[in-house]
Amino acid sequence: MPGEILDGTATAAAIYDRLTAEVGEFLAKYGRRPLLATVLVGDDPASHTYVKMKANRCREVGMLSRRIELPEATTTEELVATITSLSADLEVDGILLQHPVPPQIDERAAFEAIAPGKDVDGVTRTSFAMMSFDEGGFRSATPGGILALLDAYEVPISGRHAVVVGRSAILGRPVGMLLLARDATVTFCHSRTPDLAEQVARADIIVAAVGRPELIKGEWIKPGAVVVDAGYNPGNVGDVEYEAARRHASLITPVPGGVGPMTIATLLDQTMRAAEAHQTQSDRPLVGSLAGEVR
């Protein structure tokens, strides 16, 4: 019997319903709406699409979004200055730097300019450290979305063997640390792992996050394993050989409609948490000018 679908679209919709109610309560209490600032450098069409999607979701739940667009030739220093200014801006609750950035920019330096309290995409070293030590802070958005999706389907994590295929700073590494914090035994694999098929075959939970279409073959999947495909390639193809893997898996994410929707939902959820934290700070003024139209 084919594995059950881990439906990220439906799970994200439930998060948006909750956020809509929370934003309404926040507005009534504080006279302002949570605000997410997005920074986009250059003219990459996919990046523009992603930023537009995030702005639309903000509008749907009642949040504000502020879009900052910088030219392709922007320097690291100029980008850092922009982000530093947003970090100091009391009207801004969360900051998202859309990546990738143009090659002349030091992306890590730009990420580190985001104040930890506004790092709702979970990209700074501070956020990674706090997440790794299970000490709060903001999760990397896609890994956080993966954990939220597993929790929504009540997938047991403690004591399970999880194999993460991929080691990027914003996906593979943080999702492994989140699983480890939940008492999974975690194995990291990557492009130089010589026995990838054998490693995957031992996994109770597989997270594919390497960006290579159908790298993970269906025949590798242990019967009953949970498969999370966080890869996305042209033509809506994931990192996992979907139909073949579904014949073995107990639960599996589709591409699209699995992990992707959970990423934006997590970003907005963390923006809501950031706004609540900022508003409870004793020196935080009410910002009545932000109570009006959602941008």
- The pLDDT of residue 233 is 80
Rounded to whole angstroms, what are the CA distances from 188 to 16, 168, 203, 224? 32, 11, 11, 20
Say how far apart CA 185 and CA 56 lie, in whole Å.
Answer: 38
- State the DSSP H helix or E strand holding residue 141, giving kind and residue range, or none if neither: helix 141-152
Bridge partners, residue 95, by sequence: 37
Say how far apart CA 295 and CA 293 lie, in whole Å.
Answer: 6
Bridge partners, residue 165, by sequence: 189, 208
Q: Which residues are catalytic?
A: 54, 98, 121
Beta strand extents in 8-70 (DSSP E only): 35-41, 64-70
Say how far apart CA 291 and CA 215 lie, in whole Å.
Answer: 48
Check if the beta carbon of residue 154 is closer than 8 Å to that of residue 130: no
Domain boundaries, the chain: 23-115, 141-259
- The pLDDT of residue 292 is 35
Bridge partners, residue 206, by sequence: 163, 227
Say how far apart CA 252 and CA 223 lie, in whole Å.
Answer: 12
- The pLDDT of residue 55 is 96
- Going 60 to 66 to 70 to 74, the CA torsion angle's sign is negative
Each of the 295 residues of the chain gets a pLDDT tens digit; together they read 788 999 999 999 999 999 999 999 999 999 999 999 999 999 989 899 999 999 999 999 999 999 999 999 999 999 999 999 999 999 999 999 999 999 999 999 999 999 999 999 999 999 999 988 888 889 999 999 999 999 999 999 999 999 999 999 999 999 999 999 999 999 999 989 999 999 999 999 999 999 999 999 999 999 999 999 999 888 889 999 999 999 999 999 999 999 999 999 999 999 999 999 999 874 454 443 333 334 4
Helix axes 141-152, 8-30, angle to 10 degrees: 110
Say how far apart CA 60 and CA 156 lie, in whole Å.
Answer: 32
23-115 matches 141-259 in fold: yes
DSSP 64-133: EEEEEEE-TT--HHHHHHHHHHHHH-TT--EEEE-SPPPTTS-HHHHHHTS-GGG-TT--SHHHHHHHHT
CATH superfamily of this structure's domain 141-259: NAD(P)-binding Rossmann-like Domain (3.40.50.720)
CATH superfamily of this structure's domain 23-115: Leucine Dehydrogenase, chain A, domain 1 (3.40.50.10860)
The region that residue 248 occupies, defined by phi over 0 for left and psi between -120 and 50 for alpha, beta otherwise, is alpha
